[in-house]
Structure 1
Amino acid sequence: MTTAENQSIALRFNEATKLQYINLDNKPPLYKFYPGLRAIGLPDVADQPGPQMPTLAAIRGDGGSDHTGPLTLEQLTNLLYHSAAVIRRRQLNDGEVHYRAAASAGALYPTEIYVVCGDLEGLRAGVYHFNPRDCTLVRLRNGDLRRWVASAVGDHSAYPATLVFTTVFWRSAWKYRERGYRYCYWDLGTVAANLLATANAEAVPVKLNFGFVDRMLTGYFGIDGVTEAPSLVASVGTPDGMLADGPGDVPGALPQESNDLNAGAIDYSMSAQVHAASPLQTHDDLANWNRATAGLSQSEKDELDGTGDVFRPLRSGTDGMFDADIDLSSLASAPLGNCVRSRGSTRRFSREPMPWEAFRSVVDAAGRGINAPGLEHGYGSNLGLYFIVNSVEVLEPGAYYYNPFYTGLRLLNAGEFREMAGHLGFEQALPADAAAVAFITADLNTIDRDLGARGYRMAQTVAGIIGGRLYLGMHALGLGATGLTFFDDSVTEFFSPHAAGQSAVFVVPMGVPGSPNRVRPFRSQVAVSLDSRARGAGQGG
């Protein structure tokens, strides 16, 4: 006869090991709202065409001049709308589905946005929360409180507005469990990619800050730093002077609590531990972080890697002749506003070849600098970009490394790798059918040594920015892209020895969309072989 304690253990074990497709009973809310606070309407940019700069030029930062005038409310609204708002709705049998401006793993959207601003024409100084559902703001605090955020970031320039991005971890963990922590930062990166492109198109300077004193922002926005935590700060506009040193008066409690975003949450201890290790606690921590990130773009690795006979510069035409830069005028790149509002993840690729001009232009744009400390000249020395090329005009099929120093592709291994691409992309048809598959990697050991757990967050986010740029660029040219998970160590093994020491971070298949736009069944020969060997094949009697 068992004891009551043993019965309890058995029941807990049974509960923990149950299988279920999806548990909708504890799904977290997709939207944060404050029931007692009045929504403040923003300019109706949805009924306007949006930024008209060609998307590839907006990604690259071409053609725009630095904005020297005051930041307008319409410009701020365009940044918010084209980064994170609901851009279209679709009625399905089970109800209305909302599609947002930037891609999100599982359409779970873990990113929230807060606005801290001085007086703008049409908007009083204050602290606001952005509601992406109806593109409105609610005022959380009154008055010009920019000093508090400036002190947290360590930059007292009087930017007209600052966007503070936070992450609600349970939204991704609900479906993806421990691995959802990674996905939160991928999603932050795709939002940031849209923000940077929109800022370029609107000629509004935006600077990203991965470094800030976390605890100074948590109470300020009424969040706990555990279930919802600050992840990125974006300074918007041209400073109109300097703010006084110091944070000023400590803000009190918010006037209204939001809806519960963490009800029914399951504790995933490893995600909680890695996040607990990532905040910067003091201004000394912030200073150390800033020093460590200052030289991220400085590396001799790619310069020493060289080019050789199997190198293809991206800035060369179909004849292989080198060009000083890529002329985008010959490409029919959709305006950014149109691109964002019509973009969606591709669910099936045809196996048609991708034009070389499209491939090289998008990859070149995706690899451009990011206006953040240490990333101004590229995505940093600790990240890498590899490709499996299945069908791109003028390129031999095979495995490639993108060398940012020489701005070109080095052929690592020629061959037909569609089956392998499908296997590496979590046994899915999308990378097998795509014209090319981007594998974004990171030297996590070096990042952990030099930047700690916060560097891990930044690496995932920057990978999301690169992926988000690939999304936008491909869609702007009438092609398709989607983000995928992957078999981590198998990616490194496939691209080794060149990728030795790298870890896979994000995968983006790209190519010509197929029809119908639905996922097709797939099982690679790689998986068939592995399954056979797991059952004992080749091991003798």
Structure 2
Amino acid sequence: MPFSSPRFSLLLNPPPFHYLPATTVVLNLTTISNKRFVPAMFFSSSPPSSSPSPSMTNPKEDFEKQKLLQVQEVLKYHNQTKHSFNKYARGPHGLDWANQPNPFRRYVSAPLLPLLHFSTDNEIPSSSAIDNPLYSSLFLSLPPAKPISKSTISQFFYDSLALSAWKTTGFSTWSLRVNPSSGNLHPTEAYIIAPPIESLSDSPFVAHYAPKEHSLELRAEIPSGFFPKFFPQNSFLVGLSSIFWREAWKYGERAFRYCNHDVGHAIAAVAMAAAGLGWDVKLLDGLGYEDLKNLMGLQIFPEFEIPSTAVRGKMPEIEFEHPDCLLLVCPNGIGEFDVNYKDLSSASSDFSKLKWQGKPNLLSKEHICWDIIYRTAEIVKKPLTLGDRFLINPFQRSGLYSDSYKGFTGRQVVRKRRSAVDMDGVTKMDRNTFYQILSHCLPSGCQPGGKQKTQLSLPFRALPWDAEVHAALFVHRVVGLPQGLYFLVRNESRLDELKKSLSPDFVWAKPEGCPDDLPLYELFTYDCRKLAMQLSCHQDIASDGCFSLGMLARLEPTLLEKNVWMYPRLFWETGVLGQVLYLEAHAVGISATGIGCFFDDPVHQLLGLKGSKFQSLYHFTVGGPVLDKRIMSLPAYPGPDIDS
């Protein structure tokens, strides 16, 4: 039925967009990027407010009161970094090209261990289903686990975090990676902590992954008893960290959001590459911030003293790496085992005494510090939590509703994935293909008679918490479905809460032909193309695809019920979901793009949301890409000697 509720008339016919006062400068939107964002703004006419952390000096202070104060500080950051119809979140005055951060971290003088390269273009999918499983097959079952070797570790990084291509036009050259990143800025760094691997290291070791060289930089050798004591045979660890400065250079205060989107993309990229080798991935989330810093050797960076306001100057210490998470990679089907987090934390403290090799390179000569990013990062640092039980649930297959895939191998999909810069506004998608894509977005997979909640399917099974991210979908060009707003409920225990929180005008009807076990609902029918474009910072790409969506997270209750460290983790979950949409789009022959710029509260107004119970954290669009013929593609390896 047509949707004509007067309470949404302002959103369906919004007023003309007004920019900030004359003190604000809008940046040019011609920069080619790996994720679609409208550039940020300069300072508003009032100075940035400081966000001091709550006092931690009284050990007897009531825990719940302290947690409430921390939640309020996190929500302060979230609200301060929202975009709206009449202003953007604070960001730089313009792109300071002289200080654009180097996208490649290197540890100068650390021994470099080259990895092997693999074919992508000439693969014949049917020739070796074990060595190169089909992309679609990975969601049904994992292949037999391969042993850890130089070859398999090389393939693992090649298919997850390596360069995927170089692009060049005119005098500009830049690289793309398997894992996508906002603005192609790549704040995420990766480390491997592994037992001895023949032809790489005779001793267990910690190494930094250098994607430009597709090599490991050996940082330290670790005690021989570490892996046998804590982890199953043929296991290793992957650590992820963020350099906030890389994102803040372009996006200012909103950069903390984007860094955590990228962590989620990287988690999913790691999980998908591991799946192709028969390996499972699980977040070791009982560990705390200090444990991760020790295990990855990030104590090498000096402590960063956060200024009381946003400042510009030479601050090399701002280029430190913030440890985000540690992932266990192990053979699939390994069965039950537990991780003693207390002993593991104790062992990690000894890593600070190791002989660490290499000095991190300088990324920029001058910097701008957006203080609220670093204050918020301090608040959401996770401590060691001993009550958490480590559990790897049995693999759960995803639903199969349509044979829409093009017969690509997993490697072909992950390495040829690209972010569309524009959509053609013409390409249509079959209804069953739409349902198939959404089936791979479900956390619990195909569970006849069961409900979506626990994250059991690929790649969501890497995350240890129940799903808390849902999707509000703008359907534009799906044959067999009327245009309108739809909703995918990814945790069905939240269905009643969602219905009470969203507009009472929504119909919550099952779409025609929708599988019974796909929790998708029609909210209202309407041509939402103009609306989707306006809500996504007036970007046509949100209206020119087959569908676009906003990822809605249960925010404030999750922070109160669990803790403030769930704030970045909710963004990780949106990044994992976004990576699935990227891969699904390519696997059916089209493309996708993450949209970090959207008008937060107008999105909530459309949905009828009030307060901070549910918040939109990430937008996406899926459709037919427009290729820029001026841009030439070059192989990832060997790449050019220099990059922009």
Q: CA deviation at 1:32?
A: 0.9
1:402/1:146 CA distance change after superposition, 3 Å:
farther
Q: How big is each residue's C-alpha offset from its partner over 1:453-507, in whole Å with a ceiling of 9 and x where there is no partner?
A: 3101100011000001100110111111101121111112212259983111111
TM-score under structure 2 normalisation?
A: 0.66
Amino acid at match of 2:357: P
User: Match of 1:334?
Assistant: 408
Alignment of 1:292-311 (within 5 A): none
Amino acid at match of 1:110: P
For residue 133 of structure 2, the aligned residue among 25, 45, 53 is 53
User: Match of 2:254?
Assistant: 179
User: Match of 1:455?
Assistant: 566
User: Match of 1:189?
Assistant: 264
Instruction: Give the number of the structure with larger relative contact order, counting CA–CA contacts within 8 Å between residues 6 or more apart.
Output: 2
**Inter-partner Cα distance in structure 1 for 2:225 and 2:233:** 8
Instruction: Report if aligned partners of 1:390, 1:398 keep a CA contact under 8 Å in 2.
Output: yes
Q: CA deviation at 1:362?
A: 1.4
Q: How big is each residue's C-alpha offset from its partner over 1:140-188, in whole Å with a ceiling of 9 and x where there is no partner?
A: 112446839x99xxx6555531110111110011111110101001111
Amino acid at match of 1:36: S
**Inter-partner Cα distance in structure 1 for 2:580 and 2:278:** 18
User: Match of 1:380?
Assistant: 466
Q: How big is each residue's C-alpha offset from its partner over 1:226-285, in whole Å with a ceiling of 9 and x where there is no partner?
A: 63111121111237999994407442452321112465232212111111012233x3xx
Q: CA deviation at 1:418?
A: 0.5
User: Match of 1:110?
Assistant: 187
Instruction: Report if aligned partners of 1:210, 1:233 keep a CA contact under 8 Å in 2.
Output: yes
Amino acid at match of 1:507: H
Q: How big is each residue's C-alpha offset from its partner over 1:71-92, in whole Å with a ceiling of 9 and x where there is no partner?
A: 2222222221221111111233
**Inter-partner Cα distance in structure 2 for 1:18 and 1:126:** 40
State the SS of the aligned residue for 2:366: coil
For residue 235 of structure 1, the aligned residue among 322, 325, 328 is 328
- Is 1:494 matched up with 2:610? no
User: Match of 1:134?
Assistant: 213
1:380/1:468 CA distance change after superposition, 3 Å:
same
Alignment of 1:162-173 (within 5 A): 162-173=237-248
State the SS of the aligned residue for 1:63: coil
1:340/1:243 CA distance change after superposition, 3 Å:
closer
State the SS of the aligned residue for 1:52: coil
1:500/1:178 CA distance change after superposition, 3 Å:
closer
**Inter-partner Cα distance in structure 1 for 2:420 and 2:543:** 13
1:168/1:396 CA distance change after superposition, 3 Å:
same
1:71/1:165 CA distance change after superposition, 3 Å:
same
User: Match of 2:161?
Assistant: 84
State the SS of the aligned residue for 1:361: helix
Q: CA deviation at 1:210?
A: 3.8
Gaps of 5+ in 2: 1-44, 49-89, 124-130, 305-319, 392-396, 446-452, 493-516, 631-644
Q: CA deviation at 1:20?
A: 4.2
Q: CA deviation at 1:333?
A: 4.2
| Worse-superposed segment, 356-365 or 110-119 | 356-365
User: Match of 2:24?
Assistant: none
User: Match of 2:379?
Assistant: 277
- Is 1:506 matched up with 2:631? no
1:21/1:330 CA distance change after superposition, 3 Å:
closer
| Percent of aligned pairs with the same amino acid | 20
Alignment of 1:430-449 (within 5 A): 430-449=541-560
Instruction: Report if aligned partners of 1:127, 1:145 keep a CA contact under 8 Å in 2.
Output: no
- Is 1:93 matched up with 2:164? no
For residue 287 of structure 1, the aligned residue among 386, 395, 412 is 386
1:42/1:328 CA distance change after superposition, 3 Å:
farther
Instruction: Report if aligned partners of 2:231, 2:339 keep a CA contact under 8 Å in 1.
Output: yes
For residue 526 of structure 2, the aligned residue among 411, 415, 419 is 415
**Inter-partner Cα distance in structure 1 for 2:588 and 2:568:** 31
Instruction: Report if aligned partners of 1:159, 1:235 keep a CA contact under 8 Å in 2.
Output: no
| Worse-superposed segment, 439-448 or 239-248 | 239-248
More helix by share: 1
Amino acid at match of 2:526: G
User: Match of 1:344?
Assistant: 418
1:344/1:65 CA distance change after superposition, 3 Å:
closer
- Is 1:40 matched up with 2:113? yes
Amino acid at match of 2:475: V
**Inter-partner Cα distance in structure 1 for 2:91 and 2:220:** 45
**Inter-partner Cα distance in structure 2 for 1:388 and 1:211:** 37
Q: CA deviation at 1:380?
A: 3.2
**Inter-partner Cα distance in structure 2 for 1:325 and 1:18:** 42
Instruction: Report if aligned partners of 1:118, 1:144 keep a CA contact under 8 Å in 2.
Output: no
Instruction: Report if aligned partners of 1:55, 1:472 keep a CA contact under 8 Å in 2.
Output: no
- Is 1:74 matched up with 2:160? no
Amino acid at match of 1:209: L
Q: CA deviation at 1:63?
A: 3.2
For residue 100 of structure 2, the aligned residue among 10, 14, 27 is 27
- Is 1:466 matched up with 2:552? no
State the SS of the aligned residue for 2:566: helix
Q: CA deviation at 1:447?
A: 2.0
Instruction: Report if aligned partners of 1:117, 1:146 keep a CA contact under 8 Å in 2.
Output: no
Instruction: Report if aligned partners of 1:399, 1:495 keep a CA contact under 8 Å in 2.
Output: no
| Worse-superposed segment, 69-78 or 422-431 | 69-78
Instruction: Report if aligned partners of 1:479, 1:513 keep a CA contact under 8 Å in 2.
Output: yes
1:206/1:28 CA distance change after superposition, 3 Å:
same
Instruction: Report if aligned partners of 1:116, 1:146 keep a CA contact under 8 Å in 2.
Output: no
Instruction: Report if aligned partners of 2:105, 2:363 keep a CA contact under 8 Å in 1.
Output: yes
1:210/1:266 CA distance change after superposition, 3 Å:
farther
1:500/1:252 CA distance change after superposition, 3 Å:
closer
**Inter-partner Cα distance in structure 1 for 2:47 and 2:365:** 18
Q: How big is each residue's C-alpha offset from its partner over 1:355-391, in whole Å with a ceiling of 9 and x where there is no partner?
A: 1232211111122349xx9633668342211101011
State the SS of the aligned residue for 1:367: coil
Instruction: Report if aligned partners of 1:438, 1:509 keep a CA contact under 8 Å in 2.
Output: yes
1:120/1:113 CA distance change after superposition, 3 Å:
same
User: Match of 2:6?
Assistant: none
Instruction: Report if aligned partners of 2:188, 2:240 keep a CA contact under 8 Å in 1.
Output: yes
Q: CA deviation at 1:399?
A: 0.5
| Worse-superposed segment, 37-46 or 381-390 | 37-46
Instruction: Report if aligned partners of 1:166, 1:229 keep a CA contact under 8 Å in 2.
Output: yes
Q: How big is each residue's C-alpha offset from its partner over 1:422-463, in whole Å with a ceiling of 9 and x where there is no partner?
A: 011111000111111121111111122123331011000110
1:462/1:333 CA distance change after superposition, 3 Å:
farther
1:508/1:14 CA distance change after superposition, 3 Å:
closer
Alignment of 1:387-402 (within 5 A): 387-402=473-488
Amino acid at match of 1:130: Y
TM-score under structure 1 normalisation?
A: 0.77
Q: CA deviation at 1:47?
A: 6.7
User: Match of 1:403?
Assistant: 489
| Worse-superposed segment, 36-45 or 169-178 | 36-45
State the SS of the aligned residue for 2:347: coil
Instruction: Report if aligned partners of 1:147, 1:243 keep a CA contact under 8 Å in 2.
Output: no
Instruction: Report if aligned partners of 1:168, 1:261 keep a CA contact under 8 Å in 2.
Output: no
